[in-house]
């Protein structure tokens, strides 16, 4: 039986233990988070993806089969349209906008200071 565990640390600092059991002979699969079962699937013998929420964060587990061997991966899905990802994209846009405004102000101050220095020394 294959077993994997990951630790997901939420924004508030809480830790979540995500685990997976995958039967070698039967292919039965169980995914859990802390003490709660998130996914049960039977006879998993090919590559599959499983999605579930931890709080408001969408998480994915990939079960990949290559030449009869399985590998497992855990990731946080930041692309799919969820309320959390909409907030994340809005914050990123605001940060980019703020960076551009601050950069323009700094560039303006440098240009004005350079112009004043050249004008003063003529």
Predicted confidence (pLDDT) at residue 114 exceeds the cutoff of 80? yes
Q: How much is the pTM?
A: 0.74
Name the residue among 44, 38, 83 with its Cα closest to residue 64. Answer: 44
Tell me the mean pLDDT in the region 48-68: 94
pLDDT, one tens digit per residue, over 97-112 is 999 999 999 999 999 9
Structural contact between residues 77 and 58, judged by C-beta atoms closer than 8 angstroms: yes
- Other CB atoms within a 10 A radius of the CB of residue 17 amount to 12
């Amino acid at each position: 039986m294959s077993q994997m565990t990951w630790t997901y640390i939420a924004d508030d600092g809480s830790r979540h233990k995500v685990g997976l059991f995958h039967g070698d002979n039967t292919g039965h699969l169980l995914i859990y988070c802390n003490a709660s079962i998130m996914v049960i699937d039977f006879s998993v013998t090919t590559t599959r993806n499983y999605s579930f929420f931890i709080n408001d964060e969408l998480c994915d587990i990939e079960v990949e089969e290559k030449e009869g061997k399985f590998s497992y991966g855990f990731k946080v899905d930041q692309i799919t349209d969820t309320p959390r990802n909409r907030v994340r994209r809005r914050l990123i846009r605001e940060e980019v906008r703020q960076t551009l405004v601050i950069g323009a102000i700094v560039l303006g101050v440098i240009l004005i200071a350079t112009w004043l220095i050249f004008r003063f020394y003529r």
